[in-house]
Amino acid sequence: MYIFTCENTFEDMMCCIYHAWEKALKVGHGCVRLEKRGEEQISLFDEYIYVEYNEEEYKKVVRSIRHKISEEAYACVYYACLSSEQDALDTAYRFLIKGFKIGSDITFMRNDPDVMRIKDIRRKVLHETRYFMEFARFNSIGNKVYVCHLEPESDVIYEVSLHFADRMPSENWLIIDDNRKKSVVHTTDGQMYIRYFTDYDMSVLAKTEDVNDEYTDMWKIFFETIAIKHRYNPECQRNLMPVWMRKHVTEFQ
C-alpha cells in the first residue's frame, strides 16, 4: 500500500490527490491511500510518500474537478478538506475516482457509500461554520482593532471570516484559530489574508482576551438579566450551544 501524506491545508491536499492519482495509474486505486500529516497510522508494510505544495498541480486538480465533474462536486471536496475527520481526505479521493468516471451525476448518487460519507462530512463542516458565525465574540483593543479567538475542530475560520467581512467591512479585525495558530486578518480597505503565528505570537495574542471594557460587562449583565430562571434547561442549552464551543464566548467567562 502506498500512503500519500501532506500538510493540513486545502492546497496541499489537492497536490496530494494529484500525486496519488499519478501513482494509481500504475498500481491501481486500491493500492493507494491518502492521509493528512500527523494522522498517519504507521505500518511496516506500507510505503509513505510525503507530498509538498506545487501551485501548478494544485490548479490542475481544481480545474479538472470543476470542468470535468461539477461545481457541486468541487464544493463537496473543498469542505471535506476543511474537516477534522481522519478519513476526510481519502474519502474525497474515493469520491473523485467515481466522479471523473460518472460525471456531474455523482453528487446525486446518495446510495453510494463514498458519496454519502462526503455529504455527511460537508454537512458537519457547514454546521460548525454556522455555529461559529453565531458564537464569535470580538474584543476591542485600543479602539483600533477587534480580535476574536476560536477553537474549531474543522478549519473553518476563513468561511466564518467571509460572514464578518460583509458585516464589518470598514473595521480592522482578526479571527484567530488557536488550535492551528493562524488567523484571518481583515483591514479597513477590505483586504483579507491568512497569517500564521509562532508560539510566542500566540502567547501575546492570548492576552487580548483579558481586555474588558464597559460593553463586556454590559453584555454579561444583559445575558443574565434576560434569562428566565424557571425555564433554565442546561440540556437544551448544550444542544443549541455545545460546551466545547463556549471557551471564548464572553457571556460564559
Are 145 and 172 in contact by the 8 Å Cβ rule? The answer is: yes
d(CA 132, CA 142): 24
Nearest alpha carbon to residue 1 among 47, 68, 61, 54: 47
What pTM, to 2 d.p., does this model score? 0.90
Sign of CA dihedral 92, 107, 158, 206: negative
β-partners of residue 149 are 176
Are 200 and 185 in contact by the 8 Å Cβ rule? The answer is: no
Each residue's pLDDT, cut to its tens digit, for the chain (253 residues) gives 899 999 999 999 999 999 999 999 999 999 999 999 876 667 778 899 999 999 999 999 999 999 999 999 999 999 999 999 999 999 999 999 999 999 999 999 989 999 999 999 999 999 999 999 999 999 888 888 999 999 999 999 999 999 999 999 999 999 999 999 999 999 998 889 999 999 999 999 999 888 877 788 888 889 888 888 888 888 988 888 888 988 998 888 8
Separation of first and last alpha carbons in the chain: 49
